[in-house]
Structures are given as structure tokens and as C-alpha cells.
Structure 1
Amino acid sequence: MDIQSCVKIVSEWDIVAARQTGRDIAKTMGFSSVDQARIATAISELARNIYLYAEKGSVCIDQLIAPDQKGLKVTASDEGPGISDIRRVMEDGYSSSGGLGAGLPGVKRLMDDFAIESEVGKGTEIIAIKWLR
């Protein structure tokens, strides 16, 4: 049974809601508490980016269930300004908001698969997957 849950990101409280939804789904799927924390942290970072840079968007969490493996897919999408230099935002330590710069490289490290597509003036979509071990 596939379950998808989407949280619209328009306020800071939505970041918390997205994070908790992801943790709950991960727990239900049988992820370890460490992986639940990794997933929740990645979702929090993605949702915060939507809130800070795009003002609105959504974080959708899907269960991926195949005969040989299960995973949790996080899709963060927005219609914000887009990212003009993806390579630069993927550098450790880069921050456009004065934050720690763990951002997207941190999300990539926390998850198993990571893909980003962005078009300036149209928005960004990031897909991150954590596989159940």
C-alpha cells in the first residue's frame, strides 16, 4: 500500500509539521531511530529552504515499496526564484542566508539518493530517498 503525505510550506510551523510527518512515516515503515532522525533532519532543511527562499511550496513524503526493497522518498518543490548555480549551493559551507551552510550538501549526506532540478524564475524540485536496510 502506497502512502503519500504532503505538507504545504507557508509558515515556520509547517516546517515542524513536515518534519514530524516524515518521522512518523519512517517509524511506521520500520526505519531505525537513527535513520528516523536523519530523515526528519533532511525534511526540516528542505522545508526551511522553501520557507526562506521560495515563500511557499510543499514537501511530499512517499513510501516506496518494491518486492526487494522499501524506501521513503521526500519531494520538496516550490515555485520560487530557482537556483542559478546548483554546483555552488552543493558546496559544503556555502550559505546565502548566513546560516551554517550544511543545507543541501547535508541533505545529500543524510539520504541515500539525491537529485535536484531548478529553473531560474520557475522554481526548484529536490528528491531525496532513504532506503530501509
Structure 2
Amino acid sequence: MSIQSCVTIINEWDIVAARQLGRNVAKELGFGIVDQARITTAISELARNIFLYAGKGQICIDKLNEGGKVGLAINATDNGPGISDIRQVMEDGFSTSGGLGAGLPGVKRLMDQFDIESSPGDGTKIKATKWLR
């Protein structure tokens, strides 16, 4: 079972809205303050990537309940240029925007599960899941 809420990312204010949505859902599910911070940081990174590289996309938050396990999934999707070398963008320190390069590897570390699908011209889909302990 999953219940989904989404924020369309078009401008910087949408990044704030996506963070707030994630924090509210995490709090509602019973995540502690540290995991709430991890989740909102992951959402920030994913939403900022959509804003910077694709121009437009969506952050959807799913409430998960699988066999008694409660969790939250962040689904980031866009129809942007896509990523030609996923291995490269998953390396610590790699940045195309001049940022710190914590981006996607950072998101992967913050969450319990991380999946990415992308190819040039087809946009990018990322699903990052955090389970309640």
C-alpha cells in the first residue's frame, strides 16, 4: 500500500515546498528528527537537480507499508536531458554545476535504498527509500 503526494518543480520555491512536504510526511509516519533531516536533505538535492538540469520535473513522496514495515519513498522524475554516465555522477566529488559534488552519492548515503534510471534524451527517474526503524 502506498499513498502519494507530489510537488512539481519549476522554481526554487518548489524545492522548499517539496522539502516541507517530505518533512511533514516523515513526521506523520513517526520518523525522528535526525531521519527527518536526512529525508529533507535528500529531497533538496533531488529537487535542486531537477531545477538545475532538467528545468522541470516532479518530487513525489510515497508513504509505504510493506508487510508491517513503514517507510517513505522519494520519487524524483524529469524529462530533462538525462544522464549519459550514471557511474560517473555516482562518484563522490563529481559535479557538473561547480557544487560540492555531494549530490546523488550523498542522497544514496542518506537513504536506505536508492535506484536511478536515466539515459540521454529520456530524462531521469530516481527512487530513494527510507524505512522507519
TM-score (norm: length of structure 2): 0.98
Q: C-alpha displacement at 1:3, in angstroms?
A: 2.5
Q: C-alpha displacement at 1:66, in angstroms?
A: 2.2
Instruction: Give the 4+ runs in structure 1 shifted more than 2 A.
Output: none
Q: Deviations over 1:67-120 (max 9, x none)?
A: 320110000000000000000000000000000000000000000000000010
Letter in 1 for 2:98: G
Q: Deviations over 1:25-51 (max 9, x none)?
A: 000000010000000000010000000
- Rounded to whole Å, the distance in 2 between the matches of 1:54 and 1:70 is 31
Aligned length in residues = 133
* Aligned residue in 2 for 1:118: 118
Partner secondary structure for residue 58 of structure 1: strand
Q: State the Cα RMSD in Å.
A: 0.9
Q: What is the identity percentage for the equivalent residue pairs of Structure 1 and Structure 2?
A: 71
Letter in 2 for 1:49: N
Q: C-alpha displacement at 1:2, in angstroms?
A: 3.8
- Rounded to whole Å, the distance in 2 between the matches of 1:35 and 1:100 is 22
TM-score (norm: length of structure 1): 0.98
* Aligned residue in 2 for 1:3: 3
The gaps in structure 1 that reach 5 residues or longer are: none
Partner secondary structure for residue 70 of structure 1: strand
Matched, 1:35 2:35: yes
Pairing of 1:1-133 with structure 2 (within 5 A)? 2-133=2-133
